[in-house]
Amino acid sequence: MTAKRWMLAGLALLIAATVSGGPLSAQTAIKVIVNNKPITTYDINQRAQLLRLTGSRGGAKQATEELIDEVLKMDAAERAGIRISKADVDDAYATLATRVKLTPSQLTQALGQSGIKADTMRRRIQAEIAWTQLLRARFQAEVRISESDVIAALRKQEDKSSDTSMEYRIQPIVFVVPAKTSAANKSQRRRDVDTFRSRFSSCNEAQALASEFREVVVMPMVTRLETELPPTVKTQLDKTAVGKVTAPEDTSKGFEVFAVCDKREIASNAAARMEIEDELRNKEGEQLSRRYLRELRGRAIIDYR
C-alpha cells in the first residue's frame, strides 16, 4: 500500500473511530502457520476490525490473507538485512495521527474505543515500511518511465497552456564555519551573515561585498524551477524579495544563504510532468510489488488450520 493510500485510510479511520465497538475477545487459536510463524484468531479479529474502520469489507478472509502477506514481507525484508526501528514506526504512527488531526495518544484511544490495540496498527505500519524499503532496494533500477508515456499522459490533460511555474535565478553563498569551531566563533559568523544580508542590494555586487568578509564562497548563479527545489528552500525564496538574501541555514559547510537575483512566473508543464511521472512510477512499482509477492507466496509454506 502506498503512503497516499495510508493517508486515505487514516481519514476513514477518523470518521469510523466515533462508532462505539465492544472489545474483541483475546482468541489464541492458531488459524494459519506461515513459514513456521503462527497467525491466531485474535490476530485475524484485530485486523478485520481495523479493515472495517478503513472502509474494507473483506472481513476475516481479507484479514487473514493480509496477515499472511505481512509475514512474507517481513521475512523477505529480514533476509535482505532490513530492520525497521521502533523510532521509524513511532514517526509513521505520529504522521498518521497528524493527518487525521489527532495526537498519537488520541489515535491510540480512538482505536481502543473500537476494540483495536495500537500494536495492530503499528505492526501493519512496520510491515509496509519494511516492504517499501525492500522494493526500493530490489526494483529501483527496473522502474523505467518512458518519455512517450509521459507525453501521452500530458496530452490527455486539459488546459495545459494555463499551467505555470515559478522560475528563480539564485546565487548560493556560504559563510564557511569549521566543524570544530567554538560557539563564540560561530556566533561571530552569524553576525557576519546578518551584516552581509543587511548591506546586500544586488547580485552584481555579491562577489565584491563577500570579499570584505573572511572565508566566504560565492557560487555561480543558477536558474531553477520551483519543482527542482527542496520545499524549505522554495519557501525561503518566496519570502525574499529580488535583490535580497534569504535567511541563513546552518549546514555542515557553514551558514548558507541564497541571493535572489530574479524570479518570475512562466508557462510550464513541469509541475504536471512531475506529478504524472510520480503516478506512472507508482503504478509500475505496484505491479512489481504484486509480482514479487506472488513469487514469495509460491515459495512459502502456508498451512491453513
- pLDDT computed for residue 152 by the predictor: 60
- pLDDT computed for residue 149 by the predictor: 56
Are 210 and 218 in contact, with CB atoms under 8 Å apart?
yes
pLDDT, tens digit, 9 for 90 and up, residues 60-70: 999 999 999 99
Q: Which residues contact 106 (CB under 8 A, 6 or more apart)?
A: 97
In CATH, the number for domain 3-143+282-304 is: 1.10.4030.10
Domain residue spans of the chain: 3-143+282-304, 164-267
- List the grid coordinates of 202: 544586488
- pLDDT computed for residue 147 by the predictor: 55
Dist. CA 224–CA 241, nearest whole Å: 16
226 closest CA partner among 217, 211, 236, 241: 236
- Considering the four listed CATH numbers 3.40.720.10, 3.10.50.40, 3.30.428.10, 3.90.1150.10, the one that applies to the domain covering 164-267 is 3.10.50.40
269 closest CA partner among 167, 169, 154: 154
pLDDT, tens digit, 9 for 90 and up, residues 232-247: 899 999 999 999 999 9
pLDDT, tens digit, 9 for 90 and up, residues 93-120: 999 998 888 899 999 999 999 899 999 9
Listed as ranges, residues in the chain with pLDDT below 50 are 1-27, 159-161
- List the grid coordinates of 179: 566543524
**Percentages (nearest 5) of helix, strand, coil residues in the chain:** 60, 15, 25
- pLDDT computed for residue 63 by the predictor: 92
- pLDDT computed for residue 154 by the predictor: 56
- What's the predicted TM-score (pTM) here? 0.50
